[in-house]
Amino acid sequence: MSQPSLSEALRGVVRRDLLLAMRHRSDVAMSVFFVVIVASLFPLGVGPEPAVLRTIASGVLWVTALLACLLSLGRLFTADYLDGVLEQTLLIPQPLAVLVVGKVFSHWVISGLPVVLLSPLLGLQFGLSGESLGVLTLSLLLGTPTLSMIGAIGAALTLGLRGSGLLVALLVLPLFIPVLIFGAGAVSSSLAGIGSEANLSLLGACFLLSLAFAPWATAVALRIALE
């Protein structure tokens, strides 16, 4: 009889997903490219007025990050579900919720982290400067893992359903709203000179709360989906 230690199992899950991402580098590149393109469309639509761009910057960039997360949610469990890896993951003798954290972490590394790293550049496009750029990056760093965790619930619930791509968006977007509000709020309050600490700490609270609940809900949803 054998049993992997918790950290061993967690590392195994993360390593496999990152290895797969390395084999599919174009997927990662695509989500980065998506973010850049969508963010660049707004100045074209709204007009190049710097003052206007600065006011909408936080909202636009946050919504873009949110969409990028949403687009990549389909990849989170579907492939594993189709080739039977998910089934085997459920049979790993460690708490499924912890393994879900591993999967979500690698999803974030692939789809969220690139957006965070890119955000200063995108912020410059919108005329943000100095402190606001830092706040934007920090808020995305805190917020995108939360998005991935909440999104995982939706991805697990809609696993293997027809039209699941659209459905997951409908289910998950209302749950994203607090993160969007606090994230965009942090940037605009720093622009307004109020100080972004309040929003950032609320964003941190959202992160902790979803870390406490979302993996567990995702684990339950996965077991339901695989019955």
Partner 1 sequence: MFQTVALSGSRGERRLFSDVNVTVKPGTLLAVVGENGSGKTSFLRMLCGLLSPDGGEILWQGNNIRKLKELYSAQLTYVGHLNGIKDELTPVENLKVSACLAGDESSGGVVQKALEAVGLGRAVHRLPTRVLSQGQKRRVTLARLWLSTRPLWLLDEPFASLDAAATSYLTQQIQSHLSRGGMVVVATHQEIDLPPDCIQHLRLTQ
Partner 2 sequence: MSTTGINWFKYSSPQAIYPLAGRMIPWFAAVAVGVIAIGLYIGFFVAPTDATQGDAYRIIFVHVPAAWMSMFLYVIMAIWAGIGLGLNARPSFMMAQAIAPTGAMFTFLALFTGSMWGKPTWGAWWVWDARLTSELILLFQYIGIILLRSSIDDLRRADRASAVLALVGVINVPIIYFSVKWWNTLHQGASVTITAAPTMAGSMVTAMLIMMVGFWMYSFAVTLARMRCVIVERERQPSWGKPASIPDVVEAR
The residue (of 110 and 202) whose beta carbon lies closer to partner 2 is 202
By CB under 8 A, name the one of 59, 95, 127, 204 that touches partner 1: 95
Q: Is residue 49 a contact point for partner 1 (CB under 8 A)?
A: no
**# residues near partner 1 by CB under 8 A:** 31
Count the helix, strand and coil residues of the chain and give each as a percent rounded to the nearest 5.
Answer: 85, 0, 15
Q: Is residue 121 a contact point for partner 2 (CB under 8 A)?
A: no
Q: How far is CA 198 from CA 164, 175, 203, in A?
A: 36, 21, 9
Asked whether the beta carbons of 225 and 159 are under 8 A apart, the reply is: yes
**What is the Rg, in whole angstroms, of the alpha carbon atoms belonging to the chain?**
18
Count other Cβ atoms within 10 Å, centred on residue 69. 26
Query: Encoding tokens for residue 80?
Result: 């594993």
Which positions from 14 through 43 interact with partner 1, judged by CB under 8 A?
15-16, 19-20, 23-24
The residue (of 80 and 149) whose beta carbon lies closer to partner 1 is 80
The residue (of 41 and 170) whose beta carbon lies closer to partner 2 is 170
Nearest approach in angstroms of CB 20 to partner 1 is 6
**Span from 13-21, 60-68, 104-112, 159-167 in contact with partner 1 (CB under 8 A):** 13-21
Provide the binding-site residues for partner 2, judged by CB under 8 A. Answer: 153, 157-158, 161-163, 167, 170-171, 173-175, 177-178, 181-182, 185, 188-189, 194, 198-199, 202, 206, 209, 213, 217, 220-221, 224-225, 227
